[in-house]
Amino acid sequence: MSFVSLHFLVFVAVLFGLTRACRTRDARNNLLLAASYYFYMCWDWRFAVLILFNSLINFHAARQIATSDDPRRRRFFLAVALAGGLGLLGYFKYANFFIETFAALLHGLGMEADLPLLELMLPIGISFFTFQSLSYTLDVYRRQQPVCPSFRDFALFVAFFPTVLSGPITRAHQILPQIQGEGSDPPERIESGLVLMVRGFVKKVAFADVLGMHLVTPAFSDPSAYSWWFLVVAVYAYSYQIYMDLSGYTDMARGASRLLGFELPTSFNRPYWADSVSSFWQRWHMTMSGFFRDYLFFSLGGSKRGNVYVNLVITFLAIGMWHSAGWKFILYGLIHGSLVALERWARTRRENKGLPPLPTHGLAWAIRVFLVFQVVAFSRILFRAQDLAGALDYLKAIAAGAGGAAPFAPIAVAMLLLAVALHYIPARHTDHWLEVIRRQPAPVWAFGMVAATFGLMALSTGEAPFLYFKF
Amino acid sequence: MDRESWVWGLPGRLKPPTAAEEAVASLPSGGVRKVLLALALAAGMLLAIELALQVRSQVVSGDSIFTVLLAEPRYVVDPETGLQLLNPNRVFTTNGVTVRTNSLGLRSGEVLPVRSPGSWRLAVVGASTVMGAYDADNDQTFPARLEQRLRHDFPDRQVEVINAGIVGFGLEEEQAMLERRIAPLKPDLTIVYTGFNDFLEYCREAHGKGADGHGLPLLSLPSWLMSVDMLKKNTVFLRTSAVRHGGTRDPEGVSLEPYRAKLEAMIKGAEARGMRLVFTTNAKSYRRDQPLDEQMRLSETDRYYTHCFDLNGLHVLYDRHNALIREVATTHGIPVIALDEMVPGGDRYFADSHHFSAEGEALVANALAAFILRRQLLPD
């Protein structure tokens, strides 16, 4: 069930009504758990077993860890949970990559091996619900999270429908207390939840899908057919497509949660304002990068133990690999990890020399923002291309400076310019507009809703899934 | 280790949510009623627009949701075949198109109960293109024109051509029509124009269904909503791309094995009943050699219905299916008439992307007659 579908709107509306009618926390949580599994099973009922398995193994492992003071026993159950969760993730997501790599390695050594590839279908959202459930066990192991006494509540935390497919990856301490509590339900939640849902819907349908259909998909499908400037614009368009797509999904997830009385963390903070690659990762998909920071980078020693630069590169390699198996994602992680490490080295050197920090405004700052965006946008060619060879072909087509076709659809150009403008307009202006919208009377809201409904219906292709579903 | 420090090296806490998000979160209380009122007003406006469009349609064309609710239904489930056929022995007029139905639920003349010696009986099985979606009268459909042409050429023979085309039919329904309705009438020859309705399935596959169809069923907007239909039909250009590879589905990646299996099943069913078949390839109005703008204009209906493919994707899709029809028919020794090559593209012969204009119907009827006679496919 897609977030941008009539079915989802009816689903949320019904659930909203039913949860408000629930008199007890137990009744509400039972209802939400059943609804969350129903939501997931709309995609594929078979893989609901995987969510249940992840929930069971992490719930019981965490209990064993929490009730034991024996370090070996605690480590054993942590290993069980990690092996269970990461084992399944590895099997579904990385098995074929490792088989292919192994076969290539044997071939390189002069041995031929006809290794059969597995016919696997990636369960949607597996990276998200695996990490979400593991974060709980890891926090319990670190004694940063009390054990959850109710399996039902824990299962709801793992399968909670707004987050199960594409995040935001929530931590147990963020959502379990809300599940276990009676929940506060101030009336303004409805307004703000609805506004978030509409905003997410607009981001997805009016921006991400339009940019994808008219600019990105054609350019990446056959780079040799287009002029270099069309390819460059498509690279920028992809950056806005992926931002609007994932942040749109996050808005809708947060909006739907808020309607039901739950608050989810935000995941984006104007990422293309970043004046360094490090800053970009502070602003981009923060719940995902925060997971790697807390559970991998710190575990490796962070900046206190070992070599911080190596730790950073390893962490970013894992971030690249988290998206999918493949050398292009490894290279993507390597590029970003190396740049973040380089920035850290330069900053440390600057501090050691007693130089002032880099300016956060003015022309020098604007140039840095521009350059960081180029790095982010062009490194995403790896992300979007079919494989490494495809990414190379794309870059070659740009470098060749060919003057082929440049079929800019007016609607796509307009949406790209609008996306850029909305991103770079200072927050005080958008705040003002939101306030103006909020103050309008109900008939104006209604007229806006009708216009938005028709506009989005006209633009919606209905076929473009959210980009992060495949991860 | 400082848990608040962002490990990539920048000091301090993560920045809080943007001011815009804070503003959203701090919308004042007491707004619940306003939201509910706005939702109710919006729903009322949408309902009013839909009602206005339905009334307009009823006045202009005599066809609307009111007709479905209050008047006789145009389509009914036929108890003998289990297929949804036209309501028998009725006359329906909408948008200037008059459909006269026979007792078999077909847009065809009454089939004679007794055949005279030496008579010819043919049937044409298919979907809306065969039924004649845009033809003002039954006599203008190409099966009717084929009958007129054969009668003209053979005035001493009794000739019947049964139009067994029903809007929306795919290969499975066409096979059922062939076996359950047409076979008992013992035609000398049955022409199959498969149509393009099976293509629609490819976009349904792509549309958010669970993996391998293992998802639970989903709600969708009812097809009779005129406001949605009008809006979508008039904004195809916004959702589809003129350039290559703009579709969300790769036409080369579409498996034609189910289509092949259905064709094989239809042929097997016909052979088991001793029926003689002729296949046609599917024709369309847009061609690769036309200017791009013209192709885009002519393909608009196809891009509306088969919205997961771009223009190039539709060309490829048609070519692959026509090639498969040729291959399967040839394997079974069934003649194939290449209508995709014989009917030129453009407005002259087509009313939209794939339905024939009056001139197109005449051309197809003549081409079929010439083919049948040249190949001597009818008994002496």
- Determine the pLDDT at residue A314: 96
DSSP A227: -
In A, which residues are within 8 Å of B243 by CB distance?
A: 218, 225, 405, 407
A256/A238 Cα distance (integer angstroms): 26
Give CA torsion, residues B330, B334, B335, B341, to 10 deg.
-50
B219/B208 Cα distance (integer angstroms): 12
- Determine the pLDDT at residue B230: 82
pTM: 0.75
Poorest-pLDDT segment among A221-225, A369-373, A424-428, B248-252:
B248-252
Give CA torsion, residues B263, B269, B272, B277, to 10 deg.
-60
Q: Which residue has tokens 């894992």?
A: A318
Q: What angle do CA A309, A313, A316 make, to 5 degrees?
A: 140
Told to judge if A323 belongs to the known catalytic residues of this protein, a careful annotator would answer yes
- Determine the pLDDT at residue A401: 79
Q: How far is CA B217 from CA A38, A90, B199, B289, in A?
A: 11, 30, 21, 42
- Determine the pLDDT at residue B213: 58
Catalytic residue among A323, A336, A361, A429: A323
Q: Does the beta-carbon distance from B242 to A409 stay under 8 Å?
A: yes
DSSP B379: -
In A, which residues are within 8 Å of B52 by CB distance?
A: none
Q: A61-84 b/e with 16+ CB inside 10 Å = b?
A: bbbbbbeeeeeeebeebbebbbeb
Give me B59's structure tokens: 């006045």
Strand pairing of B159-165 and B189-193? Answer: unpaired
In what order do the strands lie in the sheet containing B277-280? B159-165, B120-126, B189-193, B277-280, B336-337
DSSP letter string, A11-24 = HHHHHHHHHHH--S
Mean pLDDT by 10 residues, chain B (380 residues): 37 44 46 79 94 86 75 86 93 86 95 86 96 93 97 94 95 96 95 93 60 63 79 77 61 91 96 96 94 88 84 92 96 96 94 94 96 93
B313/B236 Cα distance (integer angstroms): 15
B324/A9 Cα distance (integer angstroms): 41
Between residues A470 and A279, the one the model is more confident about: A279
Of B23, B203, B238, the CB nearest to A431: B23
CA B207 to chain A, closest CA, distance in angstroms equals 5
B5/A293 Cα distance (integer angstroms): 10
Percent of chain A scored above 90 by pLDDT? 57
Closest residue on chain B to A48 (Cα)? B215
Beta strands in B255-300 (DSSP E): 277-280
Interacting residues of A342 by C-beta distance below 8 A, sequence separation 6+: none
Q: Which residue has tokens 């034609």?
A: B256
Q: How far is CA B72 from CA A50, B76, B80, B88, in A?
A: 51, 10, 20, 11
Give me A450's structure tokens: 């009708």
Q: Which of B231, B243, B250, B316 to mutate to test the interface with A (most CBs of A within 10 A)?
A: B243
3-state secondary structure of B191: strand
Q: How far is CA B111 from CA A176, B100, B184, in A?
A: 72, 13, 12
Selection from A182-191, A374-383, A400-409, B113-122 with the highest mean pLDDT: A374-383
- Determine the pLDDT at residue B31: 60
